[in-house]
Each structure stands twice: as structure tokens, then as C-alpha cells.
């Protein structure tokens, strides 16, 4: 009865949030349900997973969760199946509970079957710190782990801290679970040790990358013996072909390393595509259906999403840590872009420490022909960083004014590329679309 009340109350909150344009109701319904019953998620999922009707997919990693989740849903749709997902990106445990409330059939309540989920898959993008609890609550069929980079150091700590928490959680998984791991990331690859889960690896073929690490690489020591790793090829940050000369740990051979078609530009999106395609392979979904799904793919909010504003196109590249920022800059440069709006906040979802901006490789990636406008709560910090890089920058603390200035100074044929961190992405998108996401 408690779960019935939680679902009815949660659906009412979601309806009011959508009706009043207050957001999507992606956190509070779950927060209330878990306050009433801490085992709400377990209670709802238990019967579904025992019957085998519902398969649970957890997607984790510092960068790429939302894009990979959207790629997975595209494949599932193309295969004629249904799914439930935390589309708004609420990736804590209350977001999972909210997604379940949103997907629960209201008609099942009348049949005394509270929380009946009629979908074939439940897809949840998990926050790095929340992943151990999410795994414990769900006992998933699939766990896709994309990467592990420095992000919100004041909240998470260094990557080793998160990796150790993940390792302990993965040791508790049974052989029901399939782990889909990025073999090019040493810390992620090492999660395959001491687990009973089945393991599949994805990684990139040789891409003529560099054979040395760049400044700001995050995982350069062996996760087993802590000796310095050797890299024969680096795709970006610390992702590449690695090995340890001290204990002989090395990059496992990938089960999937190349696709005939990638739906989005950028090396990091090749990893996202490979992860989704390897899930499809594990589910015995044909490569033909995967390619068709990728051909019809559209980006998620803020992830290379293109929006028209005042007669000009703007494209959003969520950039929330040094690695994602560097890859966004490189991708825009490859696309021939010249006009940037960089937006930096330091709110709770972003992490309060913005010192990571000094690990952005502006000097190596860009040249003086780029036009850069800076906005956000910490616009002067970003402006100072760019001053040291000797780039001319227009600084405007007011986000709407900064957006209007940047748009007014480009031609109708050009695109304004906006690189915001998380909270500023939500803000800029509200200005562009007139609607909140969360």
C-alpha cells in the first residue's frame, strides 16, 4: 500500500511540474518515495527481474552517459522493443525512483499490481558516486562503464577514490550481469578483476594517435601495482593502448573496436557508439539494425544539440571537466567552427572548485583566429585563463546578454558553439527553448 501511495503522489507531482513548466518531475517524486520506503526501488523491480520480462541497463562514467543512453534507446526502438529511461539526466538514486514512478502503469494499481512496468528495458544513467548504491538496489542485467576522469574533485575526490568504490561494488555482482567496459581506460578495464559478472570490452583501433600522454591525463599509474604505465598510443587524455612493465598488466583485447558508421563527430563519441553497439551485440541485435538506429539518431539535450536562436544556429557541447572541454574544442575545430561562447558556473552540480580550467589545452588546440565570449558565475576566472593563453575575450557575466552579443557577431552561415558546464547548460538551454529540463 505504501508503494501505491508513493506512485500516485509521484505521478501527481510529475503532472503539476509539467503543467506549470516547473521541470520534468525527475527528482522529487523519487525523493519522496524513498523517504516513505527506502526499499521502494527493490520492491518494484524484484518481481519484474525474477520473471525476466524487464532487463535493467546501468550506464556509468564521467563523460558520455547521456549520449550512450540515447544511442542504446535508439537501438532498442529499432529492434521493436520498449524502454523506460531517466531522460532528464537525474542520475542519483532519487532519479531512478522517479523514472520508475513515471513508467509505472496507473491501471495496474487498480488490479492491485502496484508499479507494474510494461517496458522491456529500464535504462539508467548513474552518477559516479551513486553507482555502488544503484547496483545494490537493482542487480542489473548490464553495466556499461565508459571512462573515469577527474570531475568535481571537491565532491568525488581523485579518480582512484571512485575506482576503489566501484571495484568493491563490482565484486558483489553475479554471473547474471554483463559488464561492458572500456578497455582503453586502465581503471575501467581493471574492474573486470575479482567479479563474477561476464565481461565484454570495447576500445578503439589504431587511430594514428600520439604515443605520449598530454598534460592533464588522469590515470597514468597501473591500477594493480601503481607503477607508471607505458602507452604506445593515446587517443585522448589517458585512453589508449597501455601496459605495465612491472606487473605485466595490459590492455585486454577489445570485443568490438570499429564500426562502419558513427552518428556523431569526435573521438569520444566513437567510444559512446562502440559501447552501445557492443550492448546490441550481447543482445543479439543485428549490426544492420544498429546502423539503421545510428543513422536516425538525434543528440540529447546539451550534447551537440543544435538549436536556432534569433535567426542563427547555436550548438551545445556540454564541457564539464578538462577532458570533455579539450575534446569539445578539438571537435569544433575539426568542424571548422570559429565562434565560441564559454559558460562557467561553480554550483553544486558542477563542483565548487574550478581550478580544473587551467588543465584545458587552449594553447595547443586553438589559434588567434577564434572569437570567444565568456559568461557565467565564474566568467572572470575563465577570462583570466584565456588572458594567460593570449586570446582576446569578451566577458559578460549576464548569460542572456552574452548569448545575444555572441549571436549578433556571427553571420547567418556561421554557427555559435556553446561550451557550458552542467548547471550553465541547463540555464542556456532554458533561454534557448523557454523550458526547464529538471
Cα separation, 370 vs 392, whole angstroms: 9
Local structure of residue 397 (DSSP, 8 states): S
Percentage of the chain modeled with pLDDT above 90: 76
Residue 56 β-bridge partners: 122
For the record, the C-alpha cell of 424 comes out as 550553465
Which distant-in-sequence residues (6+ apart) come within 8 Å of 113 by Cβ?
none
**Order of strands, sheet of 339-343, starting from the edge strand that comes earlier in the sequence:** 303-309, 312-317, 415-420, 339-343, 371-375, 393-395
The per-residue pLDDT for 108 is: 55
Q: What does the pLDDT read at residue 154?
A: 58
- Measure Cα distances from 25 to 73, 86, 427 in Å: 21, 11, 17
Query: What CATH number is given for 51-82+120-295 in this structure?
Result: 3.40.1190.10
Do 222 and 244 meet the contact criterion of CB atoms below 8 Å apart? Answer: yes
Q: What is the pLDDT of residue 2?
A: 83
Which residue shows C-alpha cell 573515469? 148
User: 51-82+120-295 and 303-433 share one CATH topology?
Assistant: no
- Identify the CATH homologous superfamily for domain 303-433: Mur ligase, C-terminal domain (3.90.190.20)
In angstroms, how far apart are the furthest CA atoms of the chain? Answer: 67
Domain ranges of the chain: 1-38+86-118, 51-82+120-295, 303-433
CB atoms within 10 A of CB 7: 25
Quick: pLDDT tens for 121-169. 999 999 999 999 999 999 999 999 999 998 866 566 678 899 999 999 9
Q: Which residues of the chain are under the pLDDT cut of 50?
A: 109-110
Amino acid at each position: 500500500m505504501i508503494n501505491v501511495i508513493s506512485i500516485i503522489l509521484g505521478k501527481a507531482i510529475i503532472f503539476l511540474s509539467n503543467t506549470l513548466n516547473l521541470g520534468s518531475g525527475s527528482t522529487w517524486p523519487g525523493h519522496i518515495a524513498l523517504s516513505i520506503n527506502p526499499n521502494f526501488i527493490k520492491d518494484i523491480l524484484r518481481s519484474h527481474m525474477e520473471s525476466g520480462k524487464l532487463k535493467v541497463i546501468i550506464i556509468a562514467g564521467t563523460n558520455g552517459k547521456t549520449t550512450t543512453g540515447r544511442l542504446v534507446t535508439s537501438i532498442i526502438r529499432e529492434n521493436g522493443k520498449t524502454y523506460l529511461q531517466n531522460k532528464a539526466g537525474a542520475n542519483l538514486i532519487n532519479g531512478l525512483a522517479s523514472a520508475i514512478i513515471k513508467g509505472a502503469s496507473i491501471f495496474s494499481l487498480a488490479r492491485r499490481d502496484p508499479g507494474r512496468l510494461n517496458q522491456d528495458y529500464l535504462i539508467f544513467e548513474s552518477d559516479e558516486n551513486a553507482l555502488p548504491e544503484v547496483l545494490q538496489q537493482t542487480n542489473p542485467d548490464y553495466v556499461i562503464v565508459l571512462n573515469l576522469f577527474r570531475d568535481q574533485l571537491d565532491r568525488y575526490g581523485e579518480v582512484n577514490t571512485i575506482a576503489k568504490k566501484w571495484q568493491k561494488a563490482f565484486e558483489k555482482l553475479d554471473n547474471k550481469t554483463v559488464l561492458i567496459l572500456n578497455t582503453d581506460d586502465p581503471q575501467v578495464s581493471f574492474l573486470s578483476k575479482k567479479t563474477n559478472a561476464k565481461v565484454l570490452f570495447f576500445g578503439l583501433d589504431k587511430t594514428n594517435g600520439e604515443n605520449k600522454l598530454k598534460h592533464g591525463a588522469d590515470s597514468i599509474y597501473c591500477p594493480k601495482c601503481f607503477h607508471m604505465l607505458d602507452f604506445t598510443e593515446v587517443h585522448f587524455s589517458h585512453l589508449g593502448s597501455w601496459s605495465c612493465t612491472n606487473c605485466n598488466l595490459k590492455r585486454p583485447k577489445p570485443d568490438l573496436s570499429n564500426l562502419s558508421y558513427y552518428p556523431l563527430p569526435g573521438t569520444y563519441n566513437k567510444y559512446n557508439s562502440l559501447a552501445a553497439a557492443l550492448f546490441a551485440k550481447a543482445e543479439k541485435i543485428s549490426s544492420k539494425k544498429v546502423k539503421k538506429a545510428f543513422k536516425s539518431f538525434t543528440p540529447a539535450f546539451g550534447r551537440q544539440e543544435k538549436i536556432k536562436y534569433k535567426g542563427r544556429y547555436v550548438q551545445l557541447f556540454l564541457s564539464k571537466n578538462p577532458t570533455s572541454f579539450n575534446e569539445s574544442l578539438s571537435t569544433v575545430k575539426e568542424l571548422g567552427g570559429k565562434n565560441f561562447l564559454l559558460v562557467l558556473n561553480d554550483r553544486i552540480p558542477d563542483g565548487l572548485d574550478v581550478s580544473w580550467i587551467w588543465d584545458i589545452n587552449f594553447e595547443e588546440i586553438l589559434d588567434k583566429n577564434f572569437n570567444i565570449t565568456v559568461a557565467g558565475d565564474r566568467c572572470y576566472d575563465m577570462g583570466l585563463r584565456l588572458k594567460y593563453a593570449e586570446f582576446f575575450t569578451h566577458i559578460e557575466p549576464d548569460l542572456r546578454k552574452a548569448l545575444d552579443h555572441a549571436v549578433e557577431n556571427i553571420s547567418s552561415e556561421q554557427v555559435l558553439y556553446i561550451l557550458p558546464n552542467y548547471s550553465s547548460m541547463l540555464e542556456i538551454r532554458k533561454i534557448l527553448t523557454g523550458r526547464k529540463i529538471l
